Chain A
Amino acid sequence: MAKVKGDIVVDIERCKGCEVCIDTCPTGTIAMVDAVNGKGYHYMQNVNDACTGCTNCAIVCPDGVIEVYRVKV
């Protein structure tokens, strides 16, 4: 079975920490981090390697801070 592996790049300075993306991730790859960005918001990051590149998080992100990459392995 073809497997896909994905990854995201987050523009952490634009992230406002709304957490809307967290629930949409089917693999639990993303989470809020304790650190804050220049505006003082906690931001989201990928915390493990389970990402499949489904783009759910990027599609619901109101500020469009997420870029998604996907490869077949």
Chain B
Amino acid sequence: MEDTLVKSEIIKPENRVYKKTDLMTEKVLSYCPGCGHGTAHRIIMEVIEEMGLTEDTIGIAPVGCSVLAYEFMNVDMQQAAHGRAPALATAVKRLMPHKTVFTYQGDGDLAAIGTAETIHAANRGERITIIFINNGIYGMTGGQMAPTTLPGMKSSTSPYGRDLDMMGHPLKITELVAQLPGTHYVTRQAVHTPSNVRKTKKAIRKAFELQHQNVGMTFIEIVSNCNSGWKMTPVQANKWMVDNMFPFYPLGDIKVDGKMVEG
């Protein structure tokens, strides 16, 4: 039976089990090959589509590689000044409380120039969702050292590796915001394997659901790669991320239902 099944009999609309969501525009992504941004964009849009929030979502694009997120996400978007996405999201959510509001920020945006906005929005318990892509480097501007760069990690401004005496320690901002009473759900995920993508998708869905229960800020960190900045192939970069990023930025829930996860 299966021997007679030819390609044309399988490829029919009724047999389709996966297709890129229509909430991603047809524009070709500006990201480097293998960059986690594309996967992260797509699963956010899939969650919005599955929850039927297409008309009621406002996203805030940051400054960084994902500055053009509004070109790729086919929902209402705004673009904030560098690091100020949580402030803009605060305004949007307070003016339109029935909307689902999320910011999409990288580590150079959220953990460096936008630290004040992030911490205070979290501390005020704004009913927004922050999606934080952490690749430990300033990807867009040429791979400079970011606050999240690992100890000893080479970047274009730390060519001999990050020296903790001179450059300070990496910032675990996700653990930091989890300490604040305003956050309700804080988690760290990744998008480099199918199982991690599914877990991240569940986390995003949970965060969007919690947003409408008026319980506080939801914060999702996605540990991602920057193969161009790390000077590796995408597959090597993912492996390097598992071997080096995950021990320092362990995956899993950090705060659930307003309580820190013991671990």
Which among A41, A56, A69, A71 has the highest number of chain B CB atoms within 10 Å? A69
Is A67 within 8 A of B38, CB to CB? no
B250 on the A face (CB < 8 A): no
C-alpha gap A24/B2 in the complex (Å): 24
Asked if B36 contacts A62 (CB within 8 A), the reply is yes
Is there an interface contact between A69 and B34, defined as CB atoms closer than 8 Å?
no
Number of interface residues of B (CB under 8 A): 39
Instruction: Count A-B pairs with CB separation below 8 Å.
Output: 99
Q: Across the interface, which residues of B come within 8 angstroms of A70, CB to CB?
A: 10, 15, 17
Q: Are B34 and A24 in contact (CB under 8 A)?
A: no
| A33 interface contact, C-beta 8 A | no
Of all chain A residues, the one with the shortest Cβ separation from B191 is A60
Asked whether A60 lies within 8 Å of B2 as measured between CB atoms, the reply is no
Identify the A interface with B (CB < 8 A).
3, 5-7, 9, 14, 16-20, 22-24, 41, 53, 55-56, 58-71, 73
Are A66's CB and B18's CB within 8 A? Answer: yes
Closest to A65 in B: B20
Give the distance to chain A from B20, nearest Cβ to Cβ, in Å.
Answer: 3
B18 touches A68 (CB 8 A): yes
Query: Which applies to chain A's interface (DSSP): helix, strand, loop or mixed?
Result: mixed
The answer to whether A67 touches B9 (Cβ under 8 A) is: no
Given contacts A53-B17, A69-B12, contact A59 B198 (CB under 8 A): yes
Which of these, A14, A20, A73, contacts B28 with CB under 8 Å? A14
Chain A to chain B contacts (Cβ below 8 Å), 18 pairs? A5-B10, A6-B17, A7-B10, A16-B33, A19-B235, A20-B192, A20-B238, A53-B17, A58-B20, A59-B198, A60-B193, A62-B39, A64-B20, A68-B16, A69-B17, A70-B15, A73-B1, A73-B5
Residues of A contacting B37 in the complex (Cβ-Cβ under 8 angstroms): 62
Q: Which residues of B contact A18 (CB under 8 A)?
A: 33-35, 227, 234-235
A64's partner among B24, B32, B191 (CB-CB below 8 A) is B24
Q: Which residues of B contact A67 (CB under 8 A)?
A: 16, 18-20
**Are A59 and B197 closer than 8 Å at their CB atoms?**
yes
Sample of 8 further A-B pairs with CB below 8 A, known A5-B10, A16-B32, A60-B191:
A16-B33, A19-B235, A53-B17, A59-B197, A60-B193, A64-B24, A71-B10, A73-B5
The residues in B between 21 and 60 inclusive whose CB is less than 8 angstroms from any CB of A are 21, 24, 28-29, 31-39, 42
B233, CB-defined interface residue at 8 Å: yes
Whether the Cβ atoms of B19 and A41 lie closer than 8 Å is: no
Give the shortest distance, in Å, between A55 (CB) and chain B (any CB).
Answer: 4
Residues of B within 8 A of A53 (CB): 17
**Taking the complex as formed, is B95 at the interface, i.e. its CB lies under 8 A from any CB of chain A?**
no
A9 touches B11 (CB 8 A): yes
Chain A residues whose C-beta falls within 8 Å of the C-beta of B21 in the assembled complex = 64
> What is the CB-to-nearest-CB distance from A28 to chain B, in angstroms, rounded to a whole number?
16
Alpha-carbon gap, A27 to B260, bound state (A): 41
Residue of A nearest to B37 (CB): A62
**Shortest Cβ distance from A58 into B: residue:** B18
B17 touches A68 (CB 8 A): yes
